[in-house]
Structure 1
Amino acid sequence: MTRRINAAGLSHIMQWEGKELVAYRDVAGVLTIGYGHTSAAGIPKVREGMRINDTEAAEILRRDLGKFEERVEHLVKVPLTDNQFAVLVSFDFNTGALHKSTLLKKLNAGDYDAVPVELMKWVNAGGKKVKGLVNRRSAEAGLWAKGEFVASNTVDADKAVNKKDVAVIVGTGAGGAATSVVPVLPDLIDAVTKQHDDLTSGEWARIIVAVVILGLTGYGIYRKVRS
């Protein structure tokens, strides 16, 4: 049985893909619906004026993710935690490039610490750095840093996601005051980069993890103060 993405990973993808319940044409003119679903991804075929509901959108996404879950399971030769598996599914779903990435090569060589650094290299579109991709890669790096196992790899799409997972991925909470937790990460990485271009992948990974933990700790303190 193919391994399935966990609830935290599914929430992450839903957050960054966005949801449209009425068919629309993307920037390339391709009919799209739900969480970025197109006819090229498989059933259902997207038609002009097509409408779906929230449940259908989630079901279509889970079906679309199946291809990428299989790819990660096939391409990665080292053990992965549930969150690590979810990060790679998200990355491949977004880029379709896991098979040819340096990230995969280093990971299969046992260099887990290199993954957050390699993720942050995939932030360009059209030759320019895109803030949305920077933030998405930062969220993936944060989820990779968590790294713990969860109870199941077969969480249903409509199952409630633990609020802690959402806070880690999205960097926000009910009060809305922690929305800068994730976006701050790439800015700090850029600042460090200008000073230390010769850092090893392990050192980079520790920096990324430390910044993520620092941000989440601050968010936790904020929640306690508000409560």
Structure 2
Amino acid sequence: MQITSRTALEIAWHEALVRQAYRDSVGVWTWSIGLTNASGHQVYPRYLDNPQPIRRCLEVWLWALERYAVRVRGAFDGFDLTEAQFAAALSFDFNTGGITRATWVRLWKDGDVDGARRAFLNWRRPPEIIPRREKERDLFFDGTWSNDGFVSEITRLTADYRPIFSSAVRQDIRDDIERLLGNRAAA
């Protein structure tokens, strides 16, 4: 279970890229693709009014993503996951930090696939996250990928460092991700 280009692109598609520090919806300082100081990389104040090249944003994000992948591998120790299942579980943990507490994981490991599918949507706060959770569920249980190799880059912030979503532009990050991961193919 390694992070492939396809896995990284799937997770990036659910997030957004911001090249400088910004305040997320609950006021947490965030940078790159959903990274906060809790990721193990100091985001604030390092990137406050200090935008970075896309490649640097992706390098640090992939480094942090590997830290989450270690936890996901541990949560599924002794079980073989498909690339899609690993990607879905990693996306879930990157967003929630809850892979070790998630009822759906326990149910799936116990063989209760229907119960696990239903329990996946227990993680539905804030309400805006429900479409992401549904896509993660569909990826884990059905192998349905969502990404297209692009990430939305937010290019402007308000005076109090909130993203201006109307400034989003689509960035094709496939080549950068493949180079940074060493052209890792599907697992």
- TM-score strictly above 0.5: yes
| Matched pairs, number | 147
Q: Which residue of 1 aligns with 2:93?
A: 92
Deviates more, 1:31-40 or 1:86-95: 31-40
Does 2:178 match 1:159? yes
Letter in 2 for 1:71: R
1:20-52 deviations in Å (ceiling 9; x for gaps): 112212234332211111222122543221211
Does 2:83 match 1:82? yes
Work out the CA distance in 1 between the residues paired with 2:31 and 2:99.
Answer: 24
How far off its partner does 1:14 sit? 0.8
Work out the CA distance in 2 between the residues paired with 1:158 and 1:117.
Answer: 32
Alignment of 1:131-170 (within 5 A): 132-144=128-140, 145-146=142-143, 158-159=177-178
The one of 12, 16, 19 aligned to 1:18: 16
Identical columns (%):
27
Relative to 1, partners in 2 of residues 1:157 and 1:83: Cα closer, same or farther, differing over 3 Å? Answer: farther
Q: What TM-score results when the alignment is normalised by the length of structure 2?
A: 0.68
Q: Supply the RMSD in Å over aligned alpha carbons.
A: 2.5
Letter in 2 for 1:53: P
Letter in 1 for 2:177: D
Higher helix share: 1
Unaligned runs of 5+ in 2: 146-173, 180-187
The higher-RCO structure (CA 8 Å, 6+ apart) is: 2
Work out the CA distance in 2 between the residues paired with 1:123 and 1:38.
Answer: 21
Q: Which residue of 1 aligns with 2:58?
A: 58
How far off its partner does 1:147 sit? 7.6
Looking at CA atoms only, which structure, 1 or 2, has the larger radius of gyration?
Answer: 1
Does 2:58 match 1:39? no
SS of corresponding position for 1:107? helix
Letter in 2 for 1:39: N
SS of corresponding position for 1:158? helix
Relative to 1, partners in 2 of residues 1:104 and 1:78: Cα closer, same or farther, differing over 3 Å? Answer: same
Q: What TM-score results when the alignment is normalised by the length of structure 1?
A: 0.57
SS of corresponding position for 1:29? coil
Q: Which residue of 1 aligns with 2:123?
A: 122
Relative to 1, partners in 2 of residues 1:40 and 1:101: Cα closer, same or farther, differing over 3 Å? Answer: closer
1:153-176 deviations in Å (ceiling 9; x for gaps): xx986229xxxxxxxxxxxxxxxx
Work out the CA distance in 2 between the residues paired with 1:142 and 1:100.
Answer: 20
